Chain A
Amino acid sequence: MSLLSLTDVHSFYGHIHALKGISLTVEEGEIVTLIGSNGAGKSTTLRTVSGLMHPGSGRVEFDGRDISRMEPHAIVAAGLGHVPEGRGIFPTLTVRENLEMGAFTVRDPEAVRERMAYGFELFPRLKERIDQHGGTLSGGEQQMLAIARGLMMQPRLLMLDEPSMGLAPVLVELIFDIVTMLNDKGVTILLVEQNALMALSVAHRGYVLQNGELVLNDTAANLRRDPLVRTAYLGMA
């Protein structure tokens, strides 16, 4: 049984048909990436999974449970984390408070402390900024905070939406190293990226989205060699 599976999912923004029958799976322990150009429906797919929007039709299952009608907070509690596009840092909550919010469902203060310490281990920079407002952090620090916050609930599946957006190359490397490391520790990852090269270098498998439809589905290695992917997403001839 797949950890996450979407079956013929259609999603709409008003009258705009954003997802036109998406079917995909993520197995436990995998890194799966979703690549595609702007407006292809990558973020919409994540939003439909995490309950920020509900599918018009089709089924979303997490760990064997139908979650297509559930509210986001309940989906989170089931173990599915979503670091949203644009990072979603609370600008006037401090770094500490942002992390506390990530552990909102965790009632044991000792566990919260431990996980926060783990986040600081991953991103020591955050510890230096602990009492600073989230809105005063740089883009890179905000992305670190978003990931650290996403880990506070210890999700079984972590969905990352464009973690490399707007970051300097050295930070992009760091973020992807951490993604790989988290996966080694057993976190399943669904990664949405415009930076297809980076995404395909860390992922096991990938899906290519175009205009709300999946056009390719293969291992990352095969996708890197695919002519369509090479010309359209990797900028190679």
Chain B
Amino acid sequence: MPPFAAVNIRELIRPIGQLLLFSLGSAGVLSALVLVLALILDQTAVGLHLHDRYNVSLATYTLVNLPQVVIDGLTIGFVYAAIALGYTMVYGVLEFINFAHSEIFAVGAFVGVELLIALDHTGLLRSASLGMAYAYLTLALLMGMAAAGALAVTVERVAYRPLRGAARLVPLISAIGVSFLLQDVIRLVEGLTTGQFNRIMPTFGNFDRRIMLGRLALGDTTVPLGISVKSIIVITAAVLMLAGLNYLVNATRMGKAIRAVAQDRATASLMGINVNRIISLTFLIGGLLGGAAGVLYALKFTRIDPFVGFFPGLKAFTAAVLGGIGNLTGALLGGIVLGMLETFAGSFLGVFTMGAAGSEYKDIFAFSILILVLVFRPQGLMGRHVGQKA
């Protein structure tokens, strides 16, 4: 058997299957929980209230809405997962939390969107055929990735590497500094060019179309079930990237070197591995994933501003902690769980509390998880290291 095996298709496909299985599993568990809750609440004033207004039981309402919630939850979950991988890879190799990663994400989003806005001004987007529309979107994705990757490598070189020998708190503070600096740089650049900080993703292609999967009866009305083309793109792009990352880390020479450096930096250097180059590579990969997540986020939510990275960044960090920071599989699963949980909360919180607490309180769940995990299971669900095979 060759020591450095050529591309192994099974190695590439297996994790995708596992990923989908896990997604469905966690969707099932959350759905069951919500349904039980709905059945209980049906016996209370909450159920009666809903019944009076819509002539439908809370359990039915929940059941009918579930498929859409799962689809939306998966979409945002994959975005979180892609960002979380950046945190967790860097942590695995340096035991350091790159708090500037949220701005790496934001820069990716801005570069991608600015490119599309520029293309839009030339009129190319409006006249683009469907194939060209996808080509432009891919281009924007690649540009966002390239910019974010280059930025991540630069930030490490300039702001973290000189502090490598310092106490652990020092690079962390530097990272927070970089985070604020980048936010303001984005604000300055975007403000200077148009006087406005925010950007809107141009509308083109068929990305806003919803593919209708059917209608579900709900009392006197029906609820549409559909998936937007955007969501399909987000999920597909994320799954492909994650499979690629899995292959890179587990089956390539450089990936093995990343794992070796994560496990024992000194010994890795004795193997002839240039540790600094591997660290740069780790930041590059994290940046590429973060940049792609940024563009996908902009595609999904349309409007971005210089602070767009803050909440997704924090949540992806929570996802990484939930999965076990330093663990690649953990970050992936943590992202999916968190995205799903948040969407469930956002969708059902309102009706379950008779409107007292709407979807704007969904972040309570994400950050409660962060605190609970840190207190009760600081090693996270998977609780192993990036050195572990993902």
Contact = CB atoms under 8 A, between A and B. Distances in A.
A12 to B, nearest CB: 13
Contact of A76 (B263, B264, B272): B272
Nearest to A88: B267
A51 B3 CA distance: 28
A171 to B, nearest CB: 21
A90 B3 CA distance: 17
Interface string A81-101: 110100010111100110111
Interface in B240-287: 253, 256-257, 259-260, 263-264, 266-276
B2 interface: yes
**Size class of A's contact patch?**
20 to 34
Given A90-B387, A91-B387, A104-B253, A50 B270 contact: yes
B269 A71 contact: yes
Contacts of A50: 270
Interface string A118-143: 00000000000000000000000000
A232 interface: no
A82 B270 contact: yes
B68 interface: no
Nearest to B250: A97
Interface in A140-177: 149, 153
A92 B384 CA distance: 10
A17 interface: no
Nearest to B266: A52
B89 to A, nearest CB: 15
A221 B133 CA distance: 81
A113 B270 contact: no
B379 interface: no
A73 B274 contact: yes
A84 B2 contact: no
Contact of B259 (A51, A92, A149): A92
B269 A72 contact: yes
Interface string A170-209: 0000000000000000000000000000000000000000
A52 B269 contact: yes
A97 B2 CA distance: 12
A77 B272 CA distance: 6
Given A76-B271, A104-B272, A93 B3 contact: no
A103 B3 CA distance: 10
A18 interface: no
B65 interface: no
B389 interface: yes
A150 to B, nearest CB: 8
Given A73-B269, A82-B270, A90-B263, A100 B256 contact: yes
B263 A93 contact: yes
Contact of A113 (B3, B264, B275): B3
A109 interface: yes
Contact of A84 (B256, B263, B270): B270
B270 A92 contact: no
A88 B266 contact: yes
Given A90-B260, A90-B263, A93-B263, A101 B3 contact: no
Contacts of A101: 256-257, 260, 268, 271, 273
B2 A113 contact: yes
Interface in B371-390: 385, 387-389
Contacts of B259: 90, 92-93
B387 A73 contact: no
Contacts of A105: 271-272
A67 interface: no
B264 A90 contact: yes
A96 B1 CA distance: 11
Nearest to B384: A92
B250 to A, nearest CB: 10
Contacts of B389: 92
A212 interface: no
A112 B270 contact: no
B257, B272, B273: which has the most chain A beta carbons within 10 Å?
B272
B242 to A, nearest CB: 20
A36 interface: no
A116 interface: yes
7 contacts: A51-B269, A90-B259, A90-B260, A90-B263, A92-B385, A100-B256, A101-B256
Interface of B: 2-4, 253, 256-257, 259-260, 263-264, 266-276, 385, 387-389
Interface of A: 50-52, 71-73, 76-77, 81-82, 84, 88, 90-93, 96-97, 99-105, 109, 112-113, 116, 149, 153
